[in-house]
A and B are shown apart, each in its own frame.
Chain A
């Protein structure tokens, strides 16, 4: 008795082909979409206080280290204590509604719950101070924060991206005096000594350099 029509003999072949194509598409889709340059870049969560880096840095001219004061000394760049905000805002815009969480924090002693934007996984050891001491500028990893109303991720922060710079740090180095300068461009005097700087650095490329 013939249950299935003859045309269905091709079904396994068609299914196999479909599985092959579908599988490839699926792998490629995950490969391309589910990668840090897609998932990390552009993340810009809403913060409890709509702090504008553009206003404070570009227009008012604050140095990064006025708030992120420990960045040259510690692994964490640190988000400033409420105290730092109140240094100015006890005098300026004292009745702004946007600053209400800051004043609440100052009065109650409870922390403002900022949302972490740049996050390196726990299994990767990253230390800000070392990178600044080597001469990597803020802008190399964080992008033009001075133009951001809301902080967003500009670089993938992936392992491949880290290693690109560890293998060839030259283009991302600058004099230590220009670390926080968002618009610095290398001049000839710097380009003349960059080779020497690079050869003295030797950023780790072995696993335990970061995965300690």
Chain B
């Protein structure tokens, strides 16, 4: 029946020991011989002497599995496996199986509420996003909010109670848990909760407050300790010193009376694809790093306009900058566009910048200047009429800024006569226009779409 020759492990003296695997090499030859016998069908060892696992020989095992899989294939051809459908006995309201549900909710954040929008598939939350309509978060979330899906459902968490036996945790039933818990409560009730302490997070939840009152009324000696490893107590203390009450600051830069406009002149920093800060330690950033820096500043300070935030030849970086910040900040191109309609046209086509700095004598003629402004306006760009460094007292640009409805003029601070002359001209124009004059204020930055 068997064509296989039995293994022979007897050692022949002098000859090198032959082995096929590490087991052969290290095990006692006698034991090996026994194992070989066991494995051999109809071997010399009686079935009763075999260990359990080897009753089914390797060949028998292969024969049985082969036949089984062949039958399974045949079965699969003939009729599909029977698949059950398990509907709810009592279906939750508003649940349509397979269709995700979106709802607004809040989570606690340091005694404050964080507005959230949750996507839930078949009753299982799958995504948490900020609620843009919530006044505090305005659509933002943080990592703690994002991971809330796991606090509601996490397959890695234990699914049932466990109890400690010796050093190990073993599964327990809910009945066992209830029994142990009741015993614990009874123990504390006997002492009115003396020595019982709760460690809790800061919370403004009415439900938590109610439960805490319930615990206190039954266990008057129990103590609650509120603790959070990271909190806003410093900011609140600062607000208390400043305003007399622990207000929470909500910054609305729309209402800022003084705003910042930066002229970075980044072309001066640009070398070999990186922006190097020669005078501040020599560190350097790529375009993305610069954009991150601006985004961080824009979040913290009332910056409404950034001129030449990136180098004049970094078109790709400019496009990214516009995508990231273009809806919040006026991104002015000076070195980038050089009041040149050809470069402006490219900028408009590639979605680069959202504003042009207009210098009349940079392009040459007044006609071309007006063309550039018209082109910018048509594309939804704002225009900033600018002086040149080292100017005369000529005031043409003041008239131009009003006449073209640009709404913005860049002519330096109120020092030196060449600058003051322009502001004086603006005052004269305002007097001449009388009630027809309109000062847009901060609205001028919003002339472009949502910017």
Taking Cβ atoms with an 8 Å cutoff, the residues of A that contact B are: 34, 39, 43, 45, 70, 73-76, 78-83, 105-106, 108-116, 119
Contacts and interface: CB of A to CB of B under 8 A. Distances in A.
Given A39-B78, A83-B91, A115 B97 contact: no
B77 interface: yes
Nearest to B92: A81
B18 interface: no
Given A73-B96, A76-B98, A78-B97, A39 B87 contact: no
A45 B370 CA distance: 81
Contact of A119 (B80, B86, B91, B98): B80
Given A73-B99, A74-B97, A119-B83, A81 B88 contact: yes
A110 B89 contact: yes
B245 to A, nearest CB: 50
B99 A74 contact: yes
B84 A113 contact: yes
B30 interface: no
A113 B89 contact: no
Given A39-B78, A116-B83, A119-B80, A82 B98 contact: no
Given A73-B96, A113-B86, 4 more contacts: A80-B87, A83-B91, A111-B87, A112-B87
Contact of A79 (B78, B80, B87, B96): B87
Contact of B97 (A43, A45, A76): A76
A39 B97 CA distance: 29
Contacts of B84: 113-116
Interface string B357-394: 00000000000000000000000000000000000000
B77 to A, nearest CB: 5
Interface string B63-97: 00000000000000111101111111111000011
Interface of B: 77-80, 82-91, 96-99
Contact of B89 (A34, A39, A82, A114): A82
B97 A111 contact: no
A115 B85 contact: yes
Contact of B83 (A70, A73, A111, A115): A115
B85 A79 contact: yes
A114 B85 CA distance: 5
B58 to A, nearest CB: 32
A81 B86 contact: no
A74 B84 CA distance: 19
Given A39-B79, A43-B79, A83 B97 contact: no
23 contacts: A34-B77, A43-B80, A70-B97, A73-B99, A74-B96, A74-B98, A76-B97, A78-B97, A81-B88, A81-B89, A82-B87, A82-B88, A82-B90, A83-B88, A106-B89, A109-B89, A110-B89, A111-B89, A112-B86, A112-B89, A114-B86, A115-B85, A119-B83
Closest 5 CB pairs of A and B: A111-B86, A81-B91, A81-B88, A82-B89, A116-B83
Nearest to A48: B84
Contacts of B78: 39
B82 to A, nearest CB: 6
Contacts of A108: 89
A84 to B, nearest CB: 8
A34 B98 CA distance: 32
A110 B79 CA distance: 28
Most interface-central of B83, B85, B98, B99 (chain A CB within 10 A): B85
A36 to B, nearest CB: 11
A82 to B, nearest CB: 4
A81 B91 CA distance: 6
A45 B82 CA distance: 9
A83 B89 contact: yes
